[in-house]
C-alpha cells in the first residue's frame, strides 16, 4: 500500500493542477467492471506522459501495454491533428475494453490497437518498415523490457523519447538475486542502457498512489 500522505499529495496535485476528468474516470470505472487489474498509471503520471509527448512534438506515439486504454487516452490527447498512436496489447479482452474506452473518449480515429504478443507485433512492424515514432511508452511485462528497448530503438529516430514505467519496484532493482520475476528484466533494461552511445538516459523515483516506483526516460541521439 502507498503511504497515506503520498496519496494525499497526489490528490492535491490533481486538484490544483489537473482537475476532474469524467472521461478518464469513466474509463477506470469500466476497467474495474471488466475485472482488469488496477495497474494503470495515476492521473498525475498520465498528465506527465501527456506533457512529455507534447514537449517533443510527438506526431507518432508507440505504446507497449494497452491494458484498458487509460494511458492511451492521455497519450492520444498529446497528438496534434492527424497524429497516430499505435498501442500493443496481448489480451484481446483487455483490448476490447480499451477500444470502447478510447472510442468513448473521442480518440478512436487516432488510436490503432494491435493485438498479440508484443515482440511478434514489433518484429512485424520492423520488417514492414513502419514509420519512425517520436515517443515510445513501455508499460508491459518487465521480463521483456530489454527486448522492447531494442525494438523501440529500431522504430525510433534521433530525438525520439522513450519512457519505461515501473523501473524501481520499491527498491527491488538493487537485488540481483531477487525472486521477483519482474526484477531481472528491469535490471537488464538498465544494463542495456549503460554506456549506450545511441541513447541518453536517466531514471527518477516516484511515490504516490502507485506506491514507490519510477520512470526511466531516454532520448535517442
Q: Which three cell numbers stand for residue 138?
A: 513501455
Q: Are strands 111-115 and 60-64 parallel, antiparallel or unpaired?
A: unpaired
Segment 24-35 shows an average pLDDT of 98
Q: Which three cell numbers stand for residue 159?
A: 530525438
Per residue in 198-219, pLDDT tens? 999 999 999 999 999 999 999 9
Q: Which three cell numbers stand for residue 62?
A: 508507440
Q: Which domain holds residue 28?
A: 4-220
The secondary element (H helix, E strand) that includes residue 44 is: helix 43-55
Per residue in 165-180, pLDDT tens? 999 999 999 999 999 9
CA distance 195 to 11: 38
**Which CATH number goes with the domain that contains 24?**
3.40.50.150
Number of structural domains found in the chain:
1
Confidence of residue 1 (pLDDT cuts 50, 70, 90): low
pLDDT averaged over the chain? 97
Q: Give every CB contact of residue 70 below 8 A, 6+ residues apart in sequence.
A: 24, 27, 28, 31, 40, 41, 46, 101
Residue 119 backbone dihedrals phi, psi, to 5 degrees: -65, -35
Query: Taking 80 as the threshold, does the pLDDT of residue 58 lie above it?
Result: yes
- Triad 143, 62, 119: Cα angle to 5°: 40
Confidence of residue 4 (pLDDT cuts 50, 70, 90): confident
For residue 80, what pLDDT is reported?
87
Q: Give every CB contact of residue 155 below 8 A, 6+ residues apart in sequence.
A: 62, 122, 125, 126, 130, 132, 133, 136
Amino acid at each position: 500500500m502507498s503511504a497515506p500522505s503520498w496519496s494525499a499529495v497526489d490528490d492535491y496535485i490533481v486538484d490544483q493542477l489537473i482537475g476532474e476528468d469524467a472521461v478518464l474516470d469513466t474509463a477506470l470505472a469500466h476497467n474495474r467492471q471488466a475485472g482488469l487489474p488496477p495497474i494503470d498509471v495515476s492521473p498525475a503520471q498520465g498528465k506527465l506522459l501527456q506533457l512529455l509527448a507534447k514537449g517533443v512534438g510527438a506526431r507518432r506515439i508507440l505504446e507497449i501495454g494497452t491494458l484498458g486504454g487509460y494511458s492511451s487516452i492521455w497519450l492520444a490527447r498529446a497528438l496534434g491533428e492527424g497524429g497516430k498512436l499505435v498501442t500493443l496489447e496481448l489480451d484481446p479482452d483487455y483490448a476490447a475494453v480499451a477500444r470502447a474506452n478510447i472510442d468513448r473518449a473521442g480518440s478512436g480515429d487516432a488510436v490503432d490497437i494491435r493485438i498479440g504478443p508484443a515482440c511478434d507485433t514489433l518484429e512485424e512492424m520492423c520488417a514492414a518498415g513502419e514509420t519512425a515514432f517520436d515517443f515510445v511508452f513501455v508499460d508491459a511485462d518487465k521480463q521483456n523490457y530489454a527486448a522492447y528497448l531494442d525494438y523501440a530503438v529500431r522504430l525510433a529516430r534521433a530525438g525520439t523519447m522513450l519512457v519505461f514505467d515501473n523501473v524501481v519496484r520499491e527498491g527491488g532493482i538493487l537485488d540481483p538475486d531477487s525472486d521477483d520475476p519482474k526484477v531481472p528484466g528491469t535490471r537488464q533494461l538498465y544494463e542495456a542502457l549503460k554506456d549506450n552511445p545511441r541513447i541518453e538516459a536517466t531514471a527518477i523515483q516516484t511515490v504516490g498512489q502507485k506506491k514507490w516506483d519510477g520512470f526511466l526516460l531516454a532520448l535517442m541521439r
